[in-house]
Amino acid sequence: MKHHRQSEPILIPQIDVMEAARRQGEAAILLDVRTPEEYHAGHAPSAIWIPLDEIANRIGELDRNKAILAICRAGSRSQSAAEFLALQGYSTSNVTGGMSAWAAAGLDITTDGTGSGEII
């Protein structure tokens, strides 16, 4: 079995927000890796929130049997999260364009309260 070397790029599937929303409806986990300020300002309904810098310590909260769709504001931090999770054996995809694209596509955004959220 070939061992992965850190210098080799990890190929992570890239999906758009419409595909992410569709797959979330099919039991995939939408994992929001943004900061507390960003998440609380507005996030996708039913997203699981684990900030990027906490993923290594909180990986046990993610179901290994479900696809993980990583999302951030634009797609860079979520790519890092997806690569890390892939190395741990998770099935991951990166949501291109992130929550900015999610909002632009007119998909639902919520806050922890009852109001609609915004992407900051």
Cα 106 to Cα 32: distance, rounded to the nearest angstrom = 18
Cα 44 to Cα 42: distance, rounded to the nearest angstrom = 7
Q: Which residues, 6+ apart, have CB-to-CB distance to 40 below 8 Å?
A: 111, 112
Give the active site residue among 28, 62, 67, 72. Answer: 72
Continuous H helices in 11-115: 17-24, 36-41, 55-58, 76-87, 98-104
Main-chain dihedrals φ then ψ at residue 92, nearest 5 degrees: -125, 155
Q: Is 22 tagged catalytic? A: no
The catalytic residues are 72
